[in-house]
Amino acid sequence: MPPSRPPARSTPSRPPHPRARRRRGRWAWAALASLAGLWWALRSAPPAWIDDVWAHRYLPPLSHATAALADALPWSLTLLGAVALLVGVVALALAGPGGSRSARLAWAAVPLLALGPAFELAWGLGYRRTPLETRLGLPTAAPTADAAWGALDHLLAVAIDSAPSDERRVALDAPWSTAAVAAGSACVASADAHASGRAAALRLPSGVRRLPAGLLLQGGSGGVQLPWWREPHVDGGLPPAAALATALHEFAHAAGWAREAETDALAVLAGLACPDPEVRFAAALHGLLRVRSELGRAVHDDEGWRAVLAARWATLPPAAGAAWAATSAALARHRSAPVARVATAAYDTYLRSQGVTAGMADYDRAGVVLVAALAGCATDGSAPWCAPP
């Protein structure tokens, strides 16, 4: 019988040396300081650098990667990223490097502070790029009455030409067309390439994340594109035409256009040039509402303009009225006035923090950009949206 061996003694783990703990804590504070400095530098970047380095060199490969992930995964990247961030912060706070509690908390703050420069690099710099009007060589002054009427007639012609013959296709609970959404994405990428001066179009997600009905509509919004992944989300309670117009807007955001007026205008212009008739119809309907508001400001001294507008509006096919009625019904079904007030105030504050001095009122400027872009087709028809409907 072999002799018995004494049990092996376990060696207790030694706590980190105080000097090592201090060194790890200093690394955490150095990382926080570096991230803060990078964030400040990006917030101070001049428009010329943003147009060249960010929009032309950095954004295309980033957009290709995020769009490929969005198309490949059935889950929201935004939700997955939020869960991963939460797990990482908790893990660093409880058992991160550094030894001392203050050092662990400093390490836990690193991924949170990293959201700042990541926001700028993924999307926030778009607020400070050269404005769309400047890039397209458009006037920024209030449009003339002739220009506004001309834009209205262009949009009316597109809406009439592309309207579906069956009103049920635009009803409140009618199904969305995934093919039309994909076509809209490609058309926004093409319009963005023209506006940005890129030789090749960005890769954008081919679809949108459909949110539970009413999740955004209760606050008066139809879509959202959270910046870090530039992943379009659309409220599932919207009818097809409104959902498609919202998707175009969110695709324009995903292409790096952040200011709301430019995003809305580019989304409509992209839709007008799209081969898909559903996309053209949705874009024309949304554009008509924007231009009608601008027309009211341009011709307010003309007492007979309302009668002229009513006569032209009456030329729209029944599907147009059905689509607008479906959108109104969706808002009536889901919108909550208190939630909408809070959401509007919060987003207004956010826009102003990004340098959009008009806040939510910046949306109204989309009509000015639309009128100017369509009026410019008379002198330069090279833009894709200038093609006859």
Residue 3 lies in a domain: no
252-270 tens-digit pLDDT: 999 999 999 999 999 999 9
Side by side, which strands form the sheet with 231-235? Answer: 209-211, 231-235, 223-226
Q: Are 360 and 345 in contact (CB under 8 A)?
A: no
Q: Say if residue 49 is in the same domain as residue 156.
A: no
Alpha-helical runs (H) found in the chain:
18-43, 47-49, 59-72, 77-95, 101-122, 132-136, 145-162, 178-196, 240-254, 260-272, 277-298, 305-313, 318-334, 337-353, 365-375
Residue 13 lies in a domain: no
Q: Say if residue 122 is in the same domain as residue 141.
A: no
Q: Are 366 and 293 in contact (CB under 8 A)?
A: no
Residue 12 lies in a domain: no
For residue 209, give the H/E element and its range.
strand 209-211
pLDDT value of position 1: 47
pLDDT value of position 58: 96
Looking at the predicted structure, is the pLDDT value of residue 192 above 80?
yes
Q: Give the pTM.
A: 0.90
Which of the pair, 14 or 231, is modelled with greater confidence? 231
Q: Say if residue 88 is in the same domain as residue 209.
A: no
pLDDT value of position 5: 54
Residue 186 lies in a domain: yes
Query: What is the band of 125 on the pLDDT scale with cuts at 50, 70, 90?
Result: very high
Query: What is the band of 298 on the pLDDT scale with cuts at 50, 70, 90?
Result: confident
Looking at the predicted structure, is the pLDDT value of residue 10 above 60?
no
Q: Say if residue 311 is in the same domain as residue 190.
A: yes
Q: Say if residue 327 is in the same domain as residue 372.
A: yes
Q: Say if residue 316 is in the same domain as residue 356.
A: yes
Q: Say if residue 323 is in the same domain as residue 262.
A: yes
311-343 tens-digit pLDDT: 999 999 999 999 999 999 999 999 999 999 999
Domain final position from 128, 158, 191? 128
pLDDT value of position 182: 98
Burial of 352 (0-12, 13-18, 19+ CB in 10 A): middle
Q: Are 283 and 268 in contact (CB under 8 A)?
A: yes
pLDDT value of position 4: 54
Residue 14 lies in a domain: no
Query: What is the band of 251 on the pLDDT scale with cuts at 50, 70, 90?
Result: very high
CB count, 10 Å around CB of 254?
29
Query: What is the band of 103 on the pLDDT scale with cuts at 50, 70, 90?
Result: confident
Q: Say if residue 300 is in the same domain as residue 332.
A: yes
Residue 198 lies in a domain: yes
Looking at the predicted structure, is the pLDDT value of residue 179 above 70?
yes
Average pLDDT of span 283-296: 94
Task: Name the least confident of 61-70, 242-251, 301-310.
Answer: 301-310
Domain, as residue range, for 205: 137-386
Looking at the predicted structure, is the pLDDT value of residue 21 above 80?
no
Q: Which amino acid is at 2?
A: P
pLDDT value of position 91: 80
Domain final position from 128, 145, 180? 128
Residue 10 lies in a domain: no
Domain final position from 128, 163, 179? 128
Q: Say if residue 195 is in the same domain as residue 306.
A: yes
Q: Say if residue 73 is in the same domain as residue 174.
A: no
Counted domains in the chain: 2
Average pLDDT, the chain: 90
pLDDT value of position 382: 84
Q: Say if residue 197 is in the same domain as residue 214.
A: yes
Average pLDDT of span 220-241: 94
Query: What is the band of 18 on the pLDDT scale with cuts at 50, 70, 90?
Result: low
Q: Say if residue 349 is in the same domain as residue 248.
A: yes
Residue 262 lies in a domain: yes
pLDDT value of position 87: 87
